[in-house]
Amino acid sequence: MHDTTLPKAKYALVCPQDFSQRMNAHWTKSRSEGGLGQHSSSDLQTLWRIMAENFETSIVEAASGVQSPWRILQPPTGTGKTQGSVYAAMQADLNRETEDTLKAVGILIVTRLREDANNIQDTINRLAGRSVAVVHHSDSYAKHEELHESDVVIITHQAFLNAKRKVKGQDWRPWERLVSWRGGQRLLTIIDEALANVVDESSATTENLAFVIGLIPPAVRAELPGQVAVLEEVHRVLLAYVDLDDLDGAMSLIWEDGNAPACVDFAPLISAMLALPYDRMVYNHTSAADRGRLAKRVEETINAVQSCLDQFAYYSKSGEWHSINSAALAVPLNAPGPVVLDATARANFLWDLFEEHHLRPTVPGRARDYSSVKLHVARASGLGKNAMIERIKDRLSRVRQSIETAVGPERSVFMCVHKDVEQVVTKRWVEKASFKQFSVGHWGAVDGRNTWQDFDTALILGLPYRPQTWATNMFCALQGAQDSEWLKSPEWKQYKNVRKEMEQRQLSVSVIQAINRICCRHVIDAEGHCPPADVFIVLPQDAMGDAILEDIKADMPGIVVKPWDFSLDPAKEKRPRAGSSHVRLIEYMRNVTAGVVSLSIIQHALQLSSVKKLRETLNNGEHPTTQALMEMGVSYIPGVGRGSKSFLVKAA
């Protein structure tokens, strides 16, 4: 058992109360003085103290050799959670002040974007009055000496994940370079927002496998017969699943009976294939862009097969695509002293799957009040990417008219859409928008951004649905490979369909992130209010839409929900289905002479086995068939009493 009292006496630890006071001063100081110019409150100060207490606990556990659980804090948006930079600056100062008596504490900060990393570095160094922090990402790789000497290293989410993956052809371990420094091992990892891409997903379709196999030249086949044979066997196995007529469901475990092909190292095959002139082989012309794109397709397909052999593998059918799939956890669970500051932690199912690897300390729930935000909700179907791509041109004019009617030209509007329709929106609306400002962002590239923080209106159009394989991969990576029975009926704990729950909760996370890109992230008074804002959103008409709305209300307490009188698509003209008995009835009544016709005569003429459903239809004045008959002057006279006859009457 580790004695966690020793590190408290040996290490330089920032006092949580001191941090709360320092954070409060930074929070309220004007921007011209280097602060944030925000309003404070007792709830905010309590929140900051709790943040620092969790930082300290994680440091102590890491210093004691204890593998800390991931502490998941949910400070609401606009409560200074990204200001871990203040804590880091205080820690660097304390390290220098006590260097002769106490052990220094190093910090790793993980943020979503490179620009955020740069801003955090600048803030820490400005607060410390010297260079104590360094960034390390694709635009600015730190030197080994800088990583070793700096009290604080700031990296992006992707760099954090990449550092833990195997890097071939290099004689250094990227992960150790980040978590080790002059003071030994860094003891605190502050992660801003939930990590994206925590799971490495692998997928190869039958089409891509056939494409790769067809490109393998005879010389490579002769040189690497084992690798080629395994690749072809995987293709045959996958095709066998495609051909099964009685396959129950769209997913099934492939290596369930332990009949996986012998695992081989595909690295030599990938290396041999990379040298091929794919542009000339496939298109019979020279193009560096085509060659690079095809080479990437080949490499990704072979790597996916490698993962499916090394790990578990399952078959999945999505539309016309048949694929073999696998997944593995990419996040380093042994990060030193991990603390996550995730504004959407309650809705994020990722943390549920962490189970014993995480804790959720309680934070004040009254730090923010969104009662000045109006959420205008419309309902529709066809909100996924494919439907939006197909209908965006027709829908955009309707959306534009509704929004321009609802808000005035002095407003600044941020619109979040699918990436594939962003160009259409930009071309047809942005350049002609009648607002003070109008800007468009797309799903997957808005989370964490401050670009629209001064906008007062948000328009959320379309939802970023994920494929079934995403939820399956996420679950299996964190909970282990599941059998075919689970793939068909994914039950877990209280959830009868955990896959559907994961998909819904991920949609909620994305929507809440998008909404909070605008001015509602700012605090303007001690009660936690924000500037007035309007959010317009189209949600699904089903239970998933209801659940997303409830999640928004839970994460944004006080938000005012109002119905948005808007139809994304024009009302469909309801007509009887061609060839149906309803169409035949309408045609029959069109041709008969004026007068009375009993339903028994109609039943015989149309060769109906029963008139029960027909009576139900005729009793419904809103039904298209009934309305079509009424337009011809045909009315329905129902019988009264048991055994009585019903009639249709055609006016002269």
What tens digit of pLDDT does each residue of 437-468 get? 999 999 988 887 889 999 999 999 999 999 88
Q: Establish how many alpha carbons lie within 13 A of residue 296's alpha carbon, considering only the half-sphere containing its beta carbon.
A: 6
Q: How confident is the model at residue 170 (pLDDT cuts 50, 70, 90)?
A: very low
Structure tokens at 122: 């600048």
Please tell me the CATH superfamily of domain 5-196+331-359, with its number.
Answer: P-loop containing nucleotide triphosphate hydrolases (3.40.50.300)
CA–CA separation, 153 and 142 (whole Å) = 9
pLDDT for 174 beyond 80:
no
Query: Which H or E run includes 513?
Result: helix 498-515
Query: In this predicted structure, what is the pLDDT of residue 248?
Result: 47
CA–CA separation, 221 and 570 (whole Å) = 57
CA–CA separation, 605 and 628 (whole Å) = 19
For 282, the 3-state DSSP assignment is helix
Query: In this predicted structure, what is the pLDDT of residue 607?
Result: 85
For the segment 518-568, what is each residue's pLDDT rounded down to a tens digit? 999 888 888 889 999 999 999 999 999 999 999 999 999 999 999 999 999
Q: How confident is the model at residue 249 (pLDDT cuts 50, 70, 90)?
A: low
Structure tokens at 283: 């298109």
Which residues neighbour 17 within 8 Å (Cβ) at sequence distance 6 or greater? Answer: 49
Q: What is the CA radius of gyration of the chain?
A: 31
Of 281 and 160, which is predicted with more confidence? 281
Read off the pTM. 0.80
CA–CA separation, 498 and 475 (whole Å) = 9
CA–CA separation, 35 and 38 (whole Å) = 8
Q: What percent of the chain has pLDDT over 90?
A: 56
CATH number assigned to the domain covering 373-563: 3.40.50
Q: Mind spelling out the 3-state secondary structure of 371-435?
A: CCEEEEEEEECCCCHHHHHHHHHHHHHHHHHHHHHHCCCCCEEEEEECHHHHHHHHHHCHHHCCC
CA–CA separation, 499 and 316 (whole Å) = 14
CATH number assigned to the domain covering 199-329: 1.10.275
Calculate mean pLDDT across residues 93-121: 92
Query: In this predicted structure, what is the pLDDT of residue 93?
Result: 96
Query: In this predicted structure, what is the pLDDT of residue 6?
Result: 63
On whether the CB atoms of residues 488 and 315 are closer than 8 A, the answer is no
Query: Which H or E run includes 329?
Result: strand 321-329
pLDDT for 498 beyond 90:
yes
Q: How confident is the model at residue 245 (pLDDT cuts 50, 70, 90)?
A: low
Name the nearest CA neighbour of 369 among 46, 76, 26.
76
CA–CA separation, 327 and 470 (whole Å) = 9
Q: Which of 17-21, 109-113, 150-154 has the lowest mean pLDDT?
A: 109-113
Average pLDDT, the chain: 88
For the segment 296-349, what is each residue's pLDDT rounded down to a tens digit? 999 999 999 999 998 889 999 887 789 999 998 888 888 899 999 988 888 999
On whether the CB atoms of residues 28 and 38 are closer than 8 A, the answer is yes
Of 611 and 136, which is predicted with more confidence? 136
Query: In this predicted structure, what is the pLDDT of residue 643?
Result: 63
CA–CA separation, 16 and 465 (whole Å) = 41
CA–CA separation, 227 and 270 (whole Å) = 10
pLDDT for 168 beyond 50:
no
Structure tokens at 337: 């002293």
For the segment 394-444, what is each residue's pLDDT rounded down to a tens digit? 999 999 999 999 999 999 999 999 999 999 999 888 777 789 999 999 998
Task: List the Cα angle 370/42/70 in 5-degree steps.
Answer: 80
Structure tokens at 303: 């790597």
Structure tokens at 185: 């091992």
Of 175 and 358, which is predicted with more confidence? 358
